[in-house]
Structure 1
Amino acid sequence: MQIAETNRLIFSKITVDDAPFILELMNSPGWIKYIGDRNVKTVEQAKSYIQNNQLKCYEDFDFGYYKVQLKSENLKPIGSFGLLKRDTLDHVDIGFSLLPGYEGLGYGFEGASQLMVLAKDTFNIKTVCAITLPENQASIHLLEKLGLSYQKRIKPFDNGEELLLFVKNL
């Protein structure tokens, strides 16, 4: 189900049929390095991950992560952009990930900008936040370009890893 589009991208809800793509994305070097290994190594595990995460988010909050497809490549899925309400954060969290061959080509800013519009206009979200590893300079740059401001260092998860928190009022 299409949610939005930009000049080059289409946003659609993720379904269990997207498991092969989600498996590829979750095992890409950038995902492993900056988001973390979720131990999803088979299509069946990816289907389960989608059911327990993406589909549950849509059901609980009406928003979640979306598959981003490239119009110029016959709607090839190239990444996932989304909104997530985490118990450990005060505001809805914006996140994004692209397959390696599509990084650094402006898709991150184009997709994340559209996601900010969705957050405000479709889901009536007043404030968004983002968390990232201090060494993820590309993500930090994108968050700042989107108008999010660094707030502080936090440890939102049980693993005790320190992350940078960025926030923007919409």
Structure 2
Amino acid sequence: MVIAVTERLVISEISIKEAPFFVQLMNTPGFLKYVGDRNIKTKKDAEAYLKTRFLKSYKDHGFGYYKMALKEHIDRPLGVVGILKRDTLDDADVGFALLPEFEGKGYGYEASVEILKLAKEKFKLTKITAITDPENMKSIRLLERLGMTFEKRVAPFEADKELLLFVKDL
């Protein structure tokens, strides 16, 4: 289901059929370095992850992560963008990930602006957060461009290093 259309992108709910794309996305050098190895190596791994994380989030919270695709190539995902409500953070957080060949073209910003609008208008969130690796300068710049400000360092995951927490009132 399409949830938003921007100048260049179609943002829609993720389905199990995107499992091969998820294997690819979650094993890119940037994802592995800054997000971590989620041990998604096969289509079956990706299907299980999508069911227990992304599809479950739609059901439990009414929002989640969505696939991004160019309008002229709607069947070829180029990345994900969305909102998650994690048990380890007080507020929902926005996130994004792109295949390397689509980075640096403004797609993450374009999609994130639309997701923040939806967070406020459709999902009625009043505050949004984001977490990122302190070394991920591309992500930090994007969060700042979205009007988010650094609040503090957090360690929201077991045995994980500290991450930067950014916030924005919607």
Q: What's the TM-score, normalizing by structure 1?
A: 0.97
SS of the residue corresponding to residue 86 of structure 1 reads coil
The amino acid across from 2:73 in the alignment is E
The amino acid across from 1:121 in the alignment is E
Displacement of 1:73: 3.1
5+ long unaligned stretches in structure 2: none
Displacement of 1:28: 1.1
Equivalent residue number for residue 98 of structure 2: 98
* C-alpha distance in structure 1 between counterparts of 2:119 and 2:156, whole Å: 22
Equivalent residue number for residue 22 of structure 1: 22
Q: Is the 8 A contact 1:148 1:166 kept in 2?
A: yes
Superposition map of 1:106-145 within 5 A: 106-145=106-145
* C-alpha distance in structure 2 between counterparts of 1:102 and 1:124, whole Å: 30
Displacement of 1:159: 1.2
Displacement of 1:74: 4.7
Q: What's the TM-score, normalizing by structure 2?
A: 0.97
Superposition map of 1:1-80 within 5 A: 1-80=1-80
* C-alpha distance in structure 2 between counterparts of 1:113 and 1:160, whole Å: 29
* C-alpha distance in structure 2 between counterparts of 1:31 and 1:74, whole Å: 23
SS of the residue corresponding to residue 56 of structure 1 reads helix
The amino acid across from 1:141 in the alignment is R
Displacement of 1:107: 0.5
* C-alpha distance in structure 2 between counterparts of 1:74 and 1:22, whole Å: 16
* C-alpha distance in structure 2 between counterparts of 1:96 and 1:108, whole Å: 7
Residues 44 and 168 of structure 1: CA distance in aligned 2, closer, same or farther (over 3 Å) = same
The amino acid across from 1:29 in the alignment is P
Over the residues paired in the alignment, what is the CA RMSD in angstroms? 0.9
5+ long unaligned stretches in structure 1: none
Equivalent residue number for residue 84 of structure 1: 84
SS of the residue corresponding to residue 119 of structure 1 reads helix
Percent identity, aligned pairs only? 52
Equivalent residue number for residue 158 of structure 1: 158
The amino acid across from 2:94 in the alignment is I
* C-alpha distance in structure 2 between counterparts of 1:158 and 1:77, whole Å: 31
The amino acid across from 2:90 in the alignment is D
Q: Is the 8 A contact 1:113 1:146 kept in 2?
A: yes
The amino acid across from 1:71 in the alignment is K
Residues 145 and 22 of structure 1: CA distance in aligned 2, closer, same or farther (over 3 Å) = same
Q: Is the 8 A contact 2:58 2:64 kept in 1?
A: yes
Displacement of 1:155: 1.1
Deviations 1:58-81 (A, max 9, x none): 010000000111113354210000
